[in-house]
């Protein structure tokens, strides 16, 4: 490590962060995720005084600690978007109080802050910690686990990285993913095109219809397109992927109904609609009371005033809010560049965020 370090860092925080970052954990490499889980489990055991329950679902390794009667959930993930070998091009470093490396901001610093916050409590009673291994690929195996763990609790604190400038994430759009497949009939494009049913033309009609479903804060975006088999053949098949982002549950339901109501226009073609909601929205009402508490606690700790942000990206906090658990997100690292070359964490902010999390836990349990 090189460069100046800001004072006030809790003992071992930087070393702990380095230990997590240098253990690469690309979501799609299940062996790497399993190795990362071992490192996270050992670190958590050091600070919490107990090993986690290891939950392997379809090959993906998740970790859960539970103490006493569940009341508060601390939620995070240890997988990253960075392919194996990224350390060679994006090595761990600390320069002038800024830490860099794959996954440092999203969200390994949040895990370090979690463990250090809990280590400073007089008791862990009522606390559950869940660290999942597939958040970056849609939480396919962990979403039922998250929902079951959060249901009925007083609060969920999501240790995802903060928004710009350290703002907490008080609202997140819900997501849905669809694939619209068009089935038509092939024919020679030069000799007898009239005998075909052109899936490409039908897809064009559907793309226009789909794009019109969006309204206001709701975005319905046709994305990945494919179709046809040869330049001289009427396409017998075509498809489009559709990305949906909504701020409210009612909008998610409206869009789903509209997608499933699509009907073919070109004679001889038929539609197949696949997919649906992935994450429910984290509505601002689910976080407002907790954010008010956080603002008061931050002032008492001498931290700069907290700001809130509504973001389009989803997280596992969407799942906790979706089952009715009050949820506050973005309590993790302050920095920037998630998923990007300039991913970084401002180390001087970590102690204050850790103290805030500790105070929040004590306030709600």
Q: Is 58 a catalytic residue?
A: no
Q: Is 256 a catalytic residue?
A: no
Reference 359, options 311, 281, 314, 300; nearest CA is 300
User: Measured between alpha carbons, how far is 251 from 258 in angstroms, rounded to an integer?
Assistant: 10
Sheet of 335-336, strand order: 93-95, 98-100, 344-346, 335-336
User: Measured between alpha carbons, how far is 60 from 30 in angstroms, rounded to an integer?
Assistant: 6
Structure-block tokens of residue 346 = 């401002």
Catalytic pick among 135, 248, 316, 343: 135
Contact between 338 and 163 (Cβ < 8 Å): no
Q: What are phi and psi of 350, to 5 degrees?
A: -65, -45
Reference 58, options 142, 151, 118, 181; nearest CA is 142
Reference 301, options 128, 156, 117, 159; nearest CA is 117
Catalytic pick among 16, 18, 79, 349: 79
Contact between 281 and 173 (Cβ < 8 Å): yes
Q: Which residues are catalytic?
A: 79, 135
């Amino acid at each position: 490590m090189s460069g100046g370090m800001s004072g006030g860092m809790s003992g071992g925080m930087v070393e702990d962060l380095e230990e997590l970052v240098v253990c690469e954990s690309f979501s799609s490499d299940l062996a790497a995720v399993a190795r990362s889980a071992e490192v996270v489990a050992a670190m958590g055991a050091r600070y919490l005084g107990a090993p986690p329950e290891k939950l392997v679902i379809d090959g993906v390794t998740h970790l859960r600690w539970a103490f006493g009667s569940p009341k508060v959930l601390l939620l995070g993930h240890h997988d990253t978007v960075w392919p194996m070998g990224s350390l060679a091009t994006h090595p761990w470093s600390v320069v002038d109080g800024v830490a860099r490396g794959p996954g440092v901001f999203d969200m390994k610093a949040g895990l370090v802050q979690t463990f250090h916050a809990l280590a400073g409590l007089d008791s862990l009673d009522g606390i559950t910690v869940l660290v999942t291994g597939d958040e970056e690929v849609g939480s396919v195996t962990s979403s039922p686990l998250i929902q079951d763990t959060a249901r009925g609790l007083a609060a969920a604190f999501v240790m995802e990285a903060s928004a710009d400038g350290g703002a907490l994430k008080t609202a997140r759009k819900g997501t849905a993913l669809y694939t619209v497949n068009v089935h038509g009939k092939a024919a020679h494009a030069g000799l007898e095109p009239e005998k075909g049913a052109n899936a490409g033309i039908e897809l064009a009609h559907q793309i226009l219809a789909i794009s019109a479903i969006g309204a206001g804060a709701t975005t319905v975006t046709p994305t990945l397109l494919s179709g046809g088999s040869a330049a001289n053949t009427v396409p017998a098949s075509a498809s489009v992927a559709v990305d949906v982002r909504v701020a409210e549950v009612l909008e998610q339901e409206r869009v789903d109904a509209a997608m499933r109501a699509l009907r073919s226009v070109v004679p001889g073609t038929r539609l197949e609609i696949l997919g649906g909601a992935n994450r429910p929205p984290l509505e601002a009402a689910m976080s407002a009371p907790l954010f008010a508490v956080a603002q008061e606690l931050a002032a008492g700790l001498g931290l700069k005033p907290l700001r809130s942000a509504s973001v389009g990206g989803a997280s596992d906090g969407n799942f906790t809010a979706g089952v009715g658990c009050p949820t506050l997100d973005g309590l993790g690292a302050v920095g920037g560049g998630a998923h990007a070359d300039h991913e970084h964490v401002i180390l001087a902010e970590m102690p204050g965020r850790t103290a805030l999390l500790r105070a929040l836990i004590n306030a709600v349990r």
